Structure 1
Amino acid sequence: MEEKKPKFCESPYLYPSEEPQSRGISFRRFIIIVTLLNFVAISIITGYVLYNVWLLETTIDEPFVDWQKDDSKPLITTYYESSFTSGGVFRAPVPSKADPKSPQCTLPNESKFDCNPDEPVNQQVCESRGCCWVPVTRSKRNIPPLNIPYCFYPSDYKVYDVADIKQGDNNATLKLVRKTASGFPDEIDNVNVEIIGLDSERLRVRFVDAEKDRFEVPMPFFNLSKAEQIKSPLYKIKINDDGKLQISRASTGTIIFNADLSTLIYADKYIQLHVHVPSTYLYGLGEHKATFKKDLTGWNRYTMFARDIGPTENVNLYGSYPFYIMPEGDDKMNAHGVFLLNSNAMDVLTQAAPAITYRTVGGILDFFIFLGPSAPEVVRQNVNLIGRPVLQPQWAFGFHLCRYGYNSLAKTRETLDRNLAAGIPIEAQWNDIDYMDRYNDFTYDKNNFAGLGDFVKELHSKNMHYVIILDPGVSAAEPAGTYPPYDDGVKADIFIKNTTNQIFVAKVWNLVSTAYPDFTNPATVDYWKNQLMNLRKDIEFDGIWIDMNEPSNFLDGQFNGCPNDPYENPPYKPGGNNLRSRTVCMTAKQHLGIHYNLHNLYGLYENVVSYKASLDIFGARPFILSRSTYPSQGHYASHWSGDIQSSWDHMKYSISNMLEFNIYGIPMIGSDICGFSGSTNVELCMRWSALGAFYPFSRNHNDIHGTEQDPAILGPTVVAAAKYALGARYKLLPYLYTLFAKANMNGDTVVRSLFFEFPLDKNTYSIETAFLWGSSLYIVPVLEAQKTQVDAYFPNELWYNFDDKKLAFNSTGATKTITIDNDKIGLFMRGGSIVPVYQNSANTTAELRKQKYYLNAYLDRSGNAVGEIYHDDGKSVDSIEAGNYIHASCKANKERLVCSYMNMAEFDDYRVGGVTISGLHEQPKTINLNGQFLSSNSYSHDGSTLSIDLPDDFYSSQSFSIEFRY
C-alpha cells in the first residue's frame, strides 16, 4: 500500500538512551562544527583509500607470517591482509594468482561465474582473489539483468579440499577443509556435507559448520518424515574425490544437481554455491514481477528478501521462495524441483551454462531435492514437506469488494448497494485502514464509521461476510492506559526489542510511532487472540486481511537509525540495498534470534499466530489474506499480489503470479481486479473483471489516489463483463471447491500452466497468457487494448465451449484465433473431463448451496471422460480429518456414467440433479438410473449433447450408474 509521508516528529515514547542529546548550541556554531567534522572525515577516508591501494600493490605479493594455533601444535600459515569487502581487514591463506591467458581463464562466456559479487569490480581485487580478469566489450553493466562478468573464477579454482567421503546406498557424508581464502571475512574452516535420502523421490543436502551451530530455519511446520527403507530410489548419488557432487535421475542418467563442492564459499555472513542444471526450463524463484518461465539465456538475478514495494520489474517483492521446478528436456519431459531452506537475505543468479548460483548472507545451505518425475508430482512432494494448502471456507470463493478510501460507512454502503442493484453477486464487503481510529490496529473510527457493527450484522442477515485489515504495527505513542493493544503488549513483553533491550520503535501508519509484535514469541498467540476478540465484540468480522507484514517501515530502522554493527552492514547485500531499508533493524531482537535471520519469516509467523487465534475465535475455518509469505504460508493463509498497477502489463503479470504461487503451495491467490495503483479505464476494467473472476481469490480493490473502480461505478460495459464472468465462476464453484479439496488432501495445484497437463508438448512451456483450472477448464482472457480476437494455443485434445457445451476445436496442437466479445472471456472445457457445476448463479455462496449439482461430461476422442466431486459443510475445520465429507469419482463413456463414492457422509444439501454428456452424437433409445428406466421426458439430445434430469427424489447415498441404450 502506498504510504502517506510520515511525520518525523519527536516521539515522547523514544527511550532516553536513544534520544538526541541537548540542543543547547547556536545554529552558527553547529554549522562550523559540522564543516570541520566533514573536513576531518574526508581526510580520514582519503588516507584510508590511499593506504588500501598501497596495501593491495604491496602486501598481496609479499605475504607475511603469522601464528595460528589448534589443540595440538602451533602452525605457521601464510596470510594476506586486505579490505576488499565491507567486512574490514581480515586474514586468510594466500590464493594463487590466475593468469588471464591461461586455459583456466579461457572459458566460454556462459561458463564464467562471477567472482566479484560485491561491486564495484576492479582488477586488483579480482586478481587478489585468485580470479580471472578479462574485460569484455559491452555496454554499461545493468543490474539486474546481469552481463558477462569481467572477473570470474578460473576452471581450477578451489577453496576447500575434500576429505573423509563416506557413501551408502541412499546417503553420503563428507568433510570440506578450507584450503585458501575467498575474499570474505570470517570464513568457516571445516564444513560437513550430508546427503540424506528421505524416501524414493526426495533427498536432502545439508552444508553445516563442523565446529559450531549456526542459525537454521525453525521447522515446526514441516513434515520431515523419513522412510525406514527406500526401495527403487529415483536418484543416484555420486561424489568424486575432487569434490564434485552429482545427483542424477536413475532412469535416464540426467544429472539434476551438479556442484563442485571445492568451490564452495562458506563465511559467517556470505555463503555461495554454484550448481549446474540440466535444462533451460526454469520456474519459480519468487517473489518478483517476472515471467513464470525464467530466463536462462543470460545472467539474471533473483533477490529474496521480503520488501514493501509495488510489483516492479527485477525487484524483490513481498515474499521469499528459493524453490524452482525444472523440466529436464528429455523425451518424457521428466521434471525435478529444488528447495533451499534458508530464511536469510539471498540472491539466486542464473546463467546460460545453464547454471544457478546461490548467495546468502547467513544460516546454512539446506537443500531438498524432489525427483517427481512429473511437474505436478514435484509440487506434491514439496507441498507435502512444507504443508498442504489449508481448506478455505466456502464463502471465501465468492466475489469480494473493497477500496482504500471509502473513508466512511456511508460511502462503503453506497458502493455496496449500487453494485447489488446492478446485479453483481457480492459475497464479502471489506474495509481498508481508513475504517480505523487514526490508523491504529484493533480500533474503528466511531465518527465516520458509526454503526459499523450493525452494518456487519446486516450483511450477515443477507448471507454476506465482512473482512477487516490489520497491520502488524501497533501504535507506541498513545497515552498510557488508553490503548490496550500497546499496554497489553508491554505487559506481556511481546514486542520486538532493540539492541538495548528496549521496545523497538519505528513508524508505519500510526500517526506518531510504531511497535512490532514478535510473532515468534509463544506468548504472542494469546496477546493477538485477545486483541482480535476485543475488536470482534464491536465488529463481528469474518476474515482477516494482513498487510505491511514484511514487516514494512516508513523509516530505515528506528528514528535514530540502526546500530553500527556487522549485521547491519554485511559484506554482501542481496539486491544491492541496505537490508534495513524500510524495515526493522537487522540487529533487532526476537524470541528466536535476531531479525537478520528472521526477517523473511515475519509474515509467515504472523499468519501462523493469526490462524491459531482465529480457530478459537471463529470456531470455523479461518480466512486469512497476507501480503508477505514464505514456504508453509499456504498451510495457514492465502496471498494476493500486492500493490499492482492499473495497466495492461500488470494485468498480464497477474497470470504468471497466479501460476507461480500455485507451485509454492498457495493456490488461494489473486490480484486486485482492475489494479490497485493509478486509475483504471472502462476497457481495462472490463477485461480485467472477466479475468479476475477466475482468480481463485477474486476481489476488486484499489487505492485512495485512484478513481473509484467498482463495476457499477464504471457503467454497463464493465457490469456486463463482471456479471457474465462471475456468473460463470459461481456456476463452476463446485468444481473450484473440489480442486481446493484435492489440494488439501494431495498437494495438487488449482491454477495450472498448460505444460502441467501436456508435458510432451514443448509449445506449452512458455504460455503465460492463458491458464487452466485443474485439468479441465481452459481460460483465455483478452490482455490487450482494442482487441476482440486472441491467438490462443490449444494442445492436442478436443475442446468444448463452456456456454453451449458444443465442440469448439478438434486440435492436434495448434494456435487458433478466437473471437471474445467485450462482455466475455474465453472458457473451454477439455475433452475427457467431468466437471460438477450448478445450473444457475446466485448472489451468495449460501444461496448456491441450495441448488442441486449437475455433472457435465465432455468426451475425448476415445469417448471417455473422468472427474470428481467433493462436498462438505463449507466451514468445519476438520471436515476431511473427521471424514465428514462426500467425495465421488465419476467415469463416463458412450454407454454409461458411473459415480463411485470414496467417502460418503450425509448432508441435506447434497443432491445430484442431472447429467450432460457432450460429444455423444447418437441419441439413446432408453436410459436407466441404477437399473430403473427414466421417463423419455427427463432427457433430450440435440445431436451432440445428451441432457438428463434426474428424479427430484433421487438421493445418491451410494454409488450410482446411468446407462444409455441404443
Structure 2
Amino acid sequence: MGLLFGICIYLLFGSTLAVDRGNFKTCDQSAFCKRQRAMKPGQSPYRALLDTLELSDSRLTLQLINDNNKVHLLLELYRLQGNITRVKINELKPLKPRYEVPDVLVGDPSTQPLSVLSKDDNGMVLSLGAESQRLIVSARPFRLDIMEGPELLLSLNSRGLLAFEHLRLRKDTQADPEGAEVKENTDGEEQQDEEKKEEDGGKDNEDGLWEETFKSHTDSKPNGPTSISLDFSLPGVEHVYGIPEHADSLKLKTTDAGDPYRLYNLDVFQYELYNPMALYGSVPVMLAHNAQRTMGIFWLNAAETWVDISSNTAGKTVFGKMLDFVQGSSETPQTDVRWISESGIIDVFIMLGPKPSDVFTQYASLTGTQAFPPQAALAYHQCRWNYNDQDDVKAVDQGFDEHDIPYDFIWLDIEHTDGKRYFTWDPHKFSQPKEMLQNIMDKRRKMVTIVDPHIKIDSGYKIHNEISAKNFYVKNKDGRDYEGWCWPGNAGYPDFTNPEMRAWWASMFAYDQYEGTLENLYTWNDMNEPSVFNGPEVSMYKDAVHGNWEHRDVHNLYGFYVQMATAEGLVQRSGGTERPFVLTRSVFAGSQRFGAVWTGDNAAEWDHLKISIPMCLSLSLVGLSFCGADVGGFFKNPSTELLVRWYQTGAYQPFFRAHAHLDTTRREPWLFGPENTALMRDVVRQRYALLPYWYQQFYHAYKSGQPVMRPLWVEYPKDAATFTIDDEFLIGRDLLVHPVTEEGARGVTAYLPGTDEVWYDVHTFQKHSGAQNLYIPVTMSSIPVFQRGGSIIPRKVRVRRSSACMENDPYTLYVALSPEGIAEGELYIDDGHTFDFQTKKQFIHRSLTFAHNSLTSRNLCPECKFFTKSWIEKVFILGAKKPNKVVLQTDGQATAVEFEFDASLALLTLRKPGMNAGADWTVLLQ
C-alpha cells in the first residue's frame, strides 16, 4: 500500500515533465513581498537619534525612529575580527520577542573596539580599523556608508528601502497574538493612531496582513505583518554571485523586469532552468566582485526571503555621484540589492574582503568550514530509486567488478524500508541487511540508506511511538501534532529545532537501535525542506508551531537541523572516532559543517547537464564545497551520448553520484555497449587516480574555508574575461576543467586565464599559453582538463575496485613547470576515515617544490605522527629540459634515478625513484 500510495501522490503532485509553476508563489502572490516591493526608492522615514548613542568595547547602539509611526528601533553595530562589520536592527520594545537565528554561527564572533572619530548633528564617523576604513552614520534620513580612504565600498539604506513591520495588536481583538493582556505602549499614542490608520479601510485582508490564502491553503498569521527589508548599494560593482539555490547562471541577473530571487526551501519536481524560483536550499549570502575588490553580504534570516537586484546609474548614491565627478565619468556601474524577509530581525554581516580568499575566510569564521569527508565519499557512488532487493544489490556490485569499474558506495532509496518506515528494512526484499552489508564490506565498499524526516503515523512503528510519547512532533496552531502527506501516507514531522529531539534522533543511529546496520552504512536525508505533498507549496503550513516559534520563522533551517542531527548520530555510533557522511537536499548557511549536498530532481536533458556547473559553483562560493548533481539526470532517460558526457562532467565535480527515478530504464554503466562502457570506465578511473588531489583540496576547505570547485575569477580576480564564465571551472588552483556539454560537439573553446601562465593538457601534455581562448577539437572520449604551470599534483594511477583498496598504493607526481621553471604542490595523507588527524595529529602533510632543477619534499607538520606504506613510483616533469643524470638524495645517500625524455613534449619521466611518500628527499636534475 505504501508504494502504491506514494506513486499516486507523486503522480498527483509531481509527475509532469516540467514543474507546475502554479504550485509555487510569485512575489505578487506573497503578501509581504508584494507589500514591500510596492515601496519605491526615495526618502526614508527612518531617522537616527544621535543622543541615544551608547558605545562599549564590543558594540555601538543607537535608536532609530520611524517618523511616520513613531516606532523606535534599536541599531547595533559591531566591528568583528577579520574585516567584518555586523549590523543588527530590531524593535526597541516589541510586543513579544522576534526570532533570532541560533546554531548557524559557530560561536559568538570576536569583536574589536569601535571608536568615534567625529560627531555632529548630521551624523558621526566611526573607525573600522584597518586601511583607513570608516563607517559613516547619517542621521536624517538614516543611512550607513562604509568607506576606505576616498572610496565608497557599500551603503545601507541609501535608497530608503529600510522597512520594519513592527509587531502590533489586531484592531478587532485588542489583544496580543497569544491572548496576553494589552500593555501600555511605550512608544506613545502616536503609534496607536498610526496603526489605526494602517488598519482602517478594510486593508487587513486586502494586503494579507493578518491572513493570507494561496490556492486552497490559508495562513492565519497570528502575529500579523512582521516583514523586514533593507537595501544595499554597491558602487563600482557589476557582478554579483551566490544566494543559492537557483537553477540559473553563475552571475546573478537583475530582477527589475520579473520576480526577485526567492530563498524558501521547497520540494520542486523537475525544476525549470534560468529563473529565480526557489529550490531546495537557501543560503542568504551574496558576493560582489570587481577587478579591485570582492565583498560579501550575509543576511542571517531563516524566514522566506526575496532578493531584488538592480544595476543602473539612475539611482546612484550621493557618494557615487561624487565619485563620478572626481573621476570624470558618468558611467561608473552600480548594483543595488534589496533583501526582504517575512519575519525575524535584520542581522547582516558585511564581509569586506578585499580578496576573494578573504571573503571565504571571513564567512568560514562565522559559519564554519566544509566538513572533512571520509576519503571514500569523494569516490564514485552508484544509486537509483530503487535497487529492488538484496539480489539486485549483489548483481550490481558484481557488475562493477565484471566490467572493471571502481565504485565505493551503493545506495538504497525509500523502497528498502518496511513500508516507508525509516530506520527499518523491508522484511522480504532486505531480510538480511547485515549479511548484505558484510558482503559489501568484504570488498572494502560501503552503502547509503535514505532516512527522511517524515515519520509514518502508525501505532506499530517504534520511531513514531517514541516521537509521539516524547512530544517531539511539530504542532498545529491549535497545539495538536501536525500531520501531512508524504511517501508513507499520513506522516508526522519531528521538530528538529528542538535540541532534545535532535539528540534523540542521533541516538537512533546506534547499532543497537538501527537494527541491521554496520559501520559501513551511511545516510541520505531527502525531502527535508520539509516536503509535505498536501501542504501549501508542497511544504508545511507557516503557522505550524516549533516550541515558541512559528514555522515561518524557522522554515529554511529545517533541513539544516535534520542533517545536523543525522551527522551527530553517525559520529556518536562510533564513539566519536569516525567521520560521518550525510547527503542532504535542503541546506542553509552553515550546512557545510555536516556533509554534502546535491542539486535535487534534475532531468536527463543537455541544459540540465550545463546548469549543474553554475549551480555547484554558486553553492561552493557560499561554503558548500561538497556538491554534485545526479549523473545522467534524475527524471527521463538520457541518450547514450548525454550519459557519457554527464559521467565525464560529474567525475570532475566534488560529489560524484549517478542516480535515477523509479520509472527510468536501468542505466548502470555497462548497459550501453562495450564502447560506451569503456568511455565511462575511463572517466571513473580518472576520478580515482585524482583522489589524492581531491582529498587534499577538501582538507584545505576544512582548514580554511576555500572552495574546492571554483569560478575562474576567484583565482584571477582582475581578469574581467573570467567574471561571467560558468561553463568551465577550477578544482583548487591547479586544475581547469571545461566539460563537453553540447550535443554532437566536435570542439569546445576554453578560456585559459593568466597573462603569465602556461597550462598543460593533462591527457596529451601539450603546453598552452594563458590569457587566450583555445579551441579544442573533441571526440566522445574527450574531456578537456588542464594543469596549471607552476603546480605539482599527486595521483594514484593503479586504480582498484574501491578507494580503500588503493590505500597503500604508490603515488605518481605530475610536476608542471611555470615559464620560470618552478612548481609547488602538496601531499596530504591520513587514515582516510577517522578524526585522528584532528585529535591525535596523525597525518602526513608535505610540501613539494621544484626550483633550480631540484624537486624536494619537506615536512609541513614535524609534530605529526603517521606512517604510510605508499611510495613515489613515478614523476612526470612537464616543460622540462633534458638532464645528463638524475640523482635521488635521501637519508644522506645519493642514488641514480632512471629517466626518459621526450623532446617533442618537453616531458621528463622519472621511473621508480622509490622514496617513501612520508619521507624527506630531494631529486636533483644534473
Q: TM-score, normalised by structure 1?
A: 0.78
- Residue 547 of structure 1 is matched in structure 2 by 526
Deviation at 1:808, TM superposition (A): 3.1
Residues paired across the two proteins, number: 796
| Alignment-derived partner of residue 110 in structure 1 | none
Q: Distance in 2 between matches of 1:340 and 1:547?
A: 25
Please name the residue that 2:108 is paired with.
224
Residues 127-206 of structure 1: pairs in structure 2 closer than 5 A: 153=40, 155-160=42-47, 162-164=49-51, 166=53, 172-180=60-68, 189-206=71-88
| Residue 403 (structure 1) aligns with | 384
Structure 2 SS opposite 1:366: strand
Give the AA of the match of 2:139: D
Indicate the residue corresponding to 1:248 in structure 2.
146
**Separation in structure 1 between the aligned mates of residue 244 and residue 505 of structure 2, nearest angstrom:** 29
2:241 to 283, 288, 295: 283
Structure 1 residues 406 and 365: alpha-carbon distance in aligned structure 2, compared to 1, 3 A threshold: same
Which residue identity lines up with residue 85 of structure 2 in the other structure?
L
Residue 624 of structure 2 is aligned to residue 666 of structure 1: yes
TM-superposition CA deviations, 1:779-823 (whole Å, max 9, x none): 11111101131111111321112124x233123x11111022202
- 2 CA distance for matches of 1:419 and 1:685? 17
Asked if 1 retains the 8 angstrom alpha-carbon contact of 2:385 and 2:662, the reply is yes
1:204-244 deviations in Å (ceiling 9; x for gaps) = 01111111331100136423331456752573201123245
Q: Which residue of 2 aligns with 1:900?
A: 858
CA deviations on 1:912-965 (whole Å, 9 max, x unpaired) are: 33433211123243423248675545223223122224554x335554322222
Partner of 2:309: 350
2:438 — aligned with what? 457
By how many angstroms is 1:756 displaced?
Answer: 0.8
**1:5 partner SS:** helix
Q: Match of 1:740, as an amino acid?
A: F
Q: How big is each residue's C-alpha offset from its partner over 1:465-503, in whole Å with a ceiling of 9 and x where there is no partner?
A: 011011101111x2x3x2101111122221112223222
Tell me the distance in 1 between the aligned counterparts of 2:434 and 2:901. Answer: 53
RMSD of aligned residue pairs (Cα, Å): 2.8
Cα 1:298–1:497 change in 2 (3 A) is: closer
> Which among 880, 890, 908 is matched to residue 946 of structure 1?
908
> 3-state SS of the aligned residue for 2:846?
strand
Q: Distance in 1 between matches of 2:28 and 2:54?
A: 31
Q: Is the 8 A contact 2:42 2:160 kept in 1?
A: no
Q: 1:951 to 1:783 in 2, by over 3 A?
A: closer
Pick the aligned partner of 1:509 from 468, 487, 508: 487
Which AA in structure 1 matches 2:762? Answer: F
Q: Return the alpha-carbon distance in structure 2 between the equivalents of residues 120 and 265 of structure 1.
A: 12
Match of 1:863 in 2: 821
| Contact 2:715–2:733 (CA under 8 A) maintained in structure 1 | yes
Q: Map 1:182-581; keep pairs closer than 5 Å.
A: 189-212=71-94, 213-219=97-103, 221-228=105-112, 231-232=129-130, 235-250=133-148, 253-260=151-158, 263-268=161-166, 269-278=226-235, 279-296=237-254, 298-299=256-257, 301-310=260-269, 311-312=271-272, 313-327=275-289, 329-330=290-291, 333-353=292-312, 354-476=335-457, 478=458, 480=459, 482-511=460-489, 513-533=490-510, 534=512, 536-540=514-518, 541-556=520-535, 580-581=536-537
- Distance in 1 (CA, whole Å) between partners of 2:81 and 2:503 is 38
User: What SS class does the counterpart of residue 260 from structure 1 fall into?
Assistant: coil
**Relative to structure 1, is the Cα distance of residues 613 and 539 closer, same or farther in structure 2, using a 3 angstrom cutoff?**
closer
Correspondence 1:859-938 to 2 at 5 A: 859-903=817-861, 904-930=864-890, 935-936=895-896, 938=898
Deviation at 1:289, TM superposition (A): 0.8
Comparing 689-698 with 839-848, greater Cα deviation is found at 839-848
| Cα distance in 2 between the residues matched to 1:233 and 1:167 | 25
Between the aligned partners of 2:827 and 2:731, the Cα distance in structure 1 is 14
User: In 1, Cα distance between the equivalents of 2:696 and 2:542?
Assistant: 43
The one of 3, 8, 33 aligned to 1:5:
8
Q: Distance in 2 between matches of 1:788 and 1:669?
A: 29
- The letter for the 2-side match of 1:241 is A
User: Following the alignment from structure 2 to structure 1, what is the Cα–Cα distance between the partners of residues 685 and 624?
Assistant: 25
Q: Distance in 2 between matches of 1:161 and 1:372?
A: 28
Equivalent residue for 1:962?
Answer: 923
Structure 2 residue 515 is matched with structure 1 residue 627:
no
User: How much has 1:355 moved relative to structure 2?
Assistant: 0.7
User: Is 2:45–2:141's contact at 8 Å kept on the other side of the alignment?
Assistant: no
More contact order relative to length (CA 8 Å, sep ≥ 6): 2
Residue segments in structure 1 that go unaligned for 5+ positions in a row: 10-113, 130-148, 182-187, 557-579
User: Deviations 1:737-788 (Å, cap 9, x if unpaired)?
Assistant: 0000011111111001111111111111111111111001111111110113
DSSP 3-state at the match of 2:75 = strand
Q: Which amino acid aligns with 2:878?
A: S
Compute the displacement of 1:865 (Å): 1.0
Q: Tell me how far 1:387 sits from its aligned partner.
A: 0.9
Distance 1:119 1:364 in 2: 15
- Residue 567 of structure 1 corresponds to none
Residue of structure 2 in register with 1:803 after alignment: 763
Could you tell me which amino acid in structure 2 is paired with residue 226 of structure 1?
S
Provide closer, same or farther for how the CA distance between residues 206 and 375 of structure 1 changes in structure 2, counting only shifts above 3 A. same
Measure the CA separation in 2 of the matches of 1:509 and 1:115: 31
Identity of aligned residues (%): 25
Post-superposition shift, 1:538?
1.3
In structure 1, how many angstroms separate the alpha carbons of the residues matched to 2:132 and 2:874?
Answer: 44
Contact 1:257 1:277 in 2 (8 A): yes
1:390 CA displacement: 0.8
Asked if structure 2 preserves the Cα contact closer than 8 Å seen for 1:159 and 1:263, the reply is: no
| Local SS of the residue matching 2:818 | coil
Q: 1:263 to 1:768 in 2, by over 3 A?
A: closer
Per the TM alignment, residue 320 of structure 1 is displaced from its structure 2 partner at its CA by: 1.0
Name 1:25's counterpart in structure 2: none
Tell me how far apart the structure 2 counterparts of residues 504 and 118 of structure 1 sit (CA, whole Å). 24
Counterpart mapping for 1:651-690 below 5 A: 651-690=609-648
The residue type paired with residue 421 of structure 1 is E
Q: Deviations over 1:26-45 (max 9, x none)?
A: xxxxxxxxxxxxxxxxxxxx
Amino acid of the residue matched to residue 326 of structure 1?
Answer: A
Deviations 1:415-460 (A, max 9, x none): 3333332222111111111111212211211212333331211000
TM-score normalised by length of structure 2: 0.82
Pair 415,648 (structure 1): closer, same or farther in 2 beyond 3 Å: same
Contact 1:234–1:371 (Cα < 8 Å) also in 2 = no
Contact preservation (8 Å) 1:160, 1:261? no
1:638–1:117 CA distance, 2 compared to 1 (3 A):
closer
Look up the match of 1:608: 564
Counterpart of 1:590, as a letter, is H
Structure 2 equivalent of residue 587 of structure 1: 543
- Compare 590-599 and 823-832 and name the one that shifted more: 590-599
Question: Over alpha carbons, which structure has the higher Rg?
Answer: 1
1:738 aligns with 2:687: no
376-385 vs 465-474, which deviates more? 376-385
